[in-house]
């Protein structure tokens, strides 16, 4: 139940902070964080049941001063010491996109430096808030690399990252024609025996999100995905601030998987049908919510082990399931 009188209400039940917001500190500096270590041990035990390489996967951290980002970093750092992931994957919305550009650069620089301090490669799919566009912010920014890929050669795996927002367009959410052609070429050029995972901040289907009335070039993108469906393991996105598994694509070869928000937040409106919104609380394991993703390209399986709020999931036989 939502308790509007709770001192945590302003943190957990809101999703957009005004740039001039000033909040009282929500905890004491010496608050016990033993729950992070306990959760890391529990997650590592589940991950180590499978001898598969791992990635840290998170989305929608929406950095806020006096927020929980430092705890998220502590959680990832603690987990990294035992799981030894290959890389960190962030599916966008590092911040709220409300500040003057200088302030935005300070936040992005901090968040990126924090994640890189774990000594791992970092891959980011740009989110709509990362454009610094919201509430009429005039100091818009654009990603340096709207789309890119990296190969995990030992696993014959190609990780593909595409952009999904442009405030210059009439239909802001969506994919450029160039992106669709680039994705087609990138998947066509995969070496023999490789599989791909496609990452984006936004889902390619209108019904799988609740914020946009249209998605630019969605049909063109789906045609590219269908063309290469037998070599795609999954399409994975953020943006929805919930967990969501969609197994009903016409091609039947891979699911669309939405990842819950790393930000400590709990609201159930503006969600697609079938969304799972795990309850969040400050100061215990449910404050955090991100995944350790393990990929078995030979068996065409992906395992998502949840740190914090939410449930583990698995992709098997072309379908995704909660476990």
Mean pLDDT confidence for 148-169: 97
Q: Tally the residues of the chain.
A: 323
More confident residue, 21 or 95: 95
Q: Kindly give the interhelix angle for 218-227 and 177-188, rounded to the nearest 10 degrees.
A: 0
Backbone angles phi, psi at 226, to 5 degrees: -65, -40
Has residue 28 got a pLDDT over 80? Answer: no
- Count CA within 13 A, CB hemisphere, residue 51: 0
Query: What are the CB-based long-range contacts (under 8 Å, 24+) for 147-151?
Result: 147/179, 147/182, 147/183, 148/123, 149/186, 150/87, 150/121, 150/123, 151/194
Can you give the pLDDT at residue 1?
43
Answer for the pair 254, 235: CB distance below 8 angstroms, yes or no: yes
pTM over 0.85: yes
Report the mean per-residue pLDDT for the chain: 93
Strands (E), 33-172: 54-58, 88-90, 122-124, 148-152, 157-162
More confident residue, 15 or 216: 216
Cα(286)–Cα(303) distance, integer angstroms? 20
Residue 62, both tokens: 């929406």
**What is the share, in percent, of the chain residues with pLDDT greater than 70?**
91
Can you give the pLDDT at residue 9?
65
Residue 293, both tokens: 């993703």
CB-based burial of residue 201 (10 Å sphere; 0-12 exposed, 13-18 middle, 19+ buried)?
A: buried
Q: Given pLDDT bands bounded at 50, 70 and 90, which one contains residue 267? A: confident
Can you give the pLDDT at residue 134?
87
Low-confidence winner among 51-60, 63-72, 143-152 (lowest mean pLDDT): 63-72
C-beta neighbour count of 255 within 10 angstroms: 22
Tens digit of pLDDT for each residue in 159-217?
A: 999 999 999 999 999 999 999 999 999 999 999 999 999 999 999 999 999 989 999 99
Cα(288)–Cα(264) distance, integer angstroms? 6
Cα(55)–Cα(34) distance, integer angstroms? 23
Q: Given pLDDT bands bounded at 50, 70 and 90, which one contains residue 11? A: low
Backbone angles phi, psi at 234, to 5 degrees: -165, 155
Has residue 15 got a pLDDT over 70? Answer: no
Cα(86)–Cα(152) distance, integer angstroms? 9
Can you give the pLDDT at residue 302?
98
Alpha-carbon dihedral sign for residues 212, 240, 117, 52: negative
Answer for the pair 140, 132: CB distance below 8 angstroms, yes or no: yes
Which residue, 72, 3, 6, 86, is CA-closest to 39?
Answer: 72
Q: Given pLDDT bands bounded at 50, 70 and 90, which one contains residue 254? A: very high
Which residue, 106, 108, 73, is CA-closest to 88?
Answer: 73
Answer for the pair 314, 303: CB distance below 8 angstroms, yes or no: yes
């Amino acid at each position: 139940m939502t308790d509007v009188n709770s001192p945590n209400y302003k943190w957990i039940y809101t999703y957009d902070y005004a740039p001039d917001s000033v909040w009282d500190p929500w905890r004491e500096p010496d608050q016990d964080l033993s729950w992070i270590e306990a959760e890391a041990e529990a997650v590592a035990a589940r991950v180590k049941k499978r001898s598969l390489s791992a990635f840290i996967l998170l989305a929608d951290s929406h950095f806020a001063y006096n927020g929980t980002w430092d705890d998220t970093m502590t959680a990832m750092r603690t987990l990294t010491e035992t799981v030894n992931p290959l890389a960190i994957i962030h599916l966008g919305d590092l911040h709220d996109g409300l500040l003057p550009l200088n302030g935005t650069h300070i936040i992005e620089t901090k968040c990126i430096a924090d994640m890189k301090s774990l000594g791992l490669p970092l891959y980011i799919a740009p989110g709509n808030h990362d454009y610094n566009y919201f509430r009429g912010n005039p100091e818009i920014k654009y990603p340096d690399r709207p789309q890119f890929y990296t190969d995990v050669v030992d696993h014959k795996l190609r990780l593909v990252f595409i952009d999904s927002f442009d405030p210059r367009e009439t239909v802001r959410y969506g994919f450029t024609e160039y992106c669709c052609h680039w994705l087609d070429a990138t998947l066509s050029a995969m070496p023999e025996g490789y599989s791909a995972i496609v990452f984006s901040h936004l889902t390619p289907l209108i019904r799988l999100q609740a914020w946009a009335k249209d998605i630019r070039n969605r049909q063109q993108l789906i045609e590219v995905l269908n063309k290469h469906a037998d070599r795609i393991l999954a399409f994975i996105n953020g943006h929805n601030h919930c967990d969501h598994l969609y197994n009903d694509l016409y091609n039947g070869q891979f699911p669309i998987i939405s990842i819950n928000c790393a930000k400590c937040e709990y609201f159930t409106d503006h969600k697609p049908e079938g969304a799972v919104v795990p309850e969040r609380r400050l100061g215990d394991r449910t404050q955090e919510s991100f995944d350790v993703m393990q990929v078995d390209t030979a068996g065409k399986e992906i395992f998502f082990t949840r740190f914090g709020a939410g449930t583990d999931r698995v992709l098997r036989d072309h379908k995704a399931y909660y476990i």
